Structure 1
Amino acid sequence: MKLFSGSFNLLEQSLNYSSLKQKVISDNISNADTPNYKAKGVNFNSVLDDAIKASMQAYKTDTRHFSFKQSLGTPGVFTKNGQYNHNGNSVDVDKEMSDLASNQIYYNALVDRISGKFQTLQNVVKGGR
């Protein structure tokens, strides 16, 4: 029996994505003056595919069947192309700060949504009181 609906799992995966994006953006900002540093980004589709593969289990009826493999490294993180500074650095601080703000808004919306879900569950447990 599942205690929580699938929406909790989806919200958890979304929070993981937002957390990874926050880490990548903060790494980019902290390395804005590092020569030859290449900015990184997060690909949502890749993160989603890895989350789906992690939740899928292969039913193997024969030892020769392949099993699902986890990707090496951090899933969904890629190196952005381009050069913005004369020292080979590709970090655009203004864009990174904009991405940071939008990611923070997204994260706060997810936290509010999951908090509402838990509040609803708490009301059910208390019997509506």
Structure 2
Amino acid sequence: MNRIFGNSINMAQKSLDYLWKKQNIITDNIANQDTPGYKSKFLTFEDELRNNIKKSELTTSQGYGDAIKESGLKINTTENESARMDGNNVNPDAEYVELARTTIQYQYAIRAVSDEFSRLRSAIKGQ
């Protein structure tokens, strides 16, 4: 199946996994906005993907598909100081904005996958 889709489906899957997990982390931050000492978390994916793609360009044994598959998601904790007395550093306004942004990105990614399948369906039918 990878030959039909190339790397687009692998990348879409990884992107959707990332956005889904990012939404979960943001909602955890929002749920813990009143928890004393709680430090907000964030998810990274792009840096590892970029590094894996650069490595795959240097070696011929690893293709872009493998670089995408091997790129993992990393949960980080924000260690910056809090302006609050209880040590919690969650900024609910920023979290809600990021949640809205991530939700739109997720919907766009789902649409892109759907469009990819529609194009394939049209090509198969010969339309």
Question: TM-score normalized by structure 1?
Answer: 0.74
Q: Percent of aligned pairs with the same residue?
A: 34
Partner of 2:64: none
1:79 aligns with 2:83: no
Q: Which runs of 5+ in 2 are unaligned?
A: 62-69
2:17 is the counterpart of 1:16: yes
Aligned to 1:121: 120
Q: Which has the larger helix fraction?
A: 2
**Does structure 2 conserve the Cα–Cα contact (< 8 Å) formed by 1:46 and 1:76?**
no
Query: 1:21 offset after TM fit, Å?
Result: 0.9
Equivalent residue number for residue 34 of structure 2 = 33
- RMSD over aligned Cα atoms: 2.7
Shift of 1:10: 1.2
Q: TM (normalized to structure 2)?
A: 0.75
Indicate yes or no: 2:49 matched with 1:48: yes
How many residues are aligned here? 113
Distance apart, 1:47 and its partner CA: 4.9
Which of the two has higher C-alpha Rg?
1
The alpha carbon displacement at 1:8 in A equals: 1.3
- Aligned mates of 1:76, 1:3 — CA distance in 2: 30
Unaligned runs of 5+ in 1: 60-69
Instruction: Note the C-alpha offset of 1:48.
Output: 2.3
